[in-house]
Amino acid sequence: MNTGKHISIRIDEETHHKLHFISKYEGRSANGQIKYLLHKCIKEFEDKNGKIDFEK
């Protein structure tokens, strides 16, 4: 079973509250919102620069 990797970040209180506000608005948990944003960022990068290949 793949449970994924864990990452910990520190953010200021205002950003924390805004993240939770947006997450709730979009129907996601804060964790789900962060994962969504990471996947979106990776897709945009790969669309512009090509697929990231770990074999190179």
**CB 52 within 8 Å of CB 42:** yes
pLDDT of amino acid 3: 77
Check residue 30 and give its pLDDT.
96
Which residues does the chain have with pLDDT short of 70? 1-2, 56
Q: Is the dihedral of CA 13, 19, 22, 24 positive or negative?
A: negative
Sorted by sequence, the CB contacts under 8 Å of residue 38 that are 6+ apart come out as none
Q: Where are the alpha helices (DSSP H) in the chain?
A: 13-26, 30-49
Kindly report whether the global pTM for this prediction surpasses the value 0.85.
no
DSSP state of 32: H
12 CB burial (10 A radius; 0-12, 13-18, 19+)? exposed
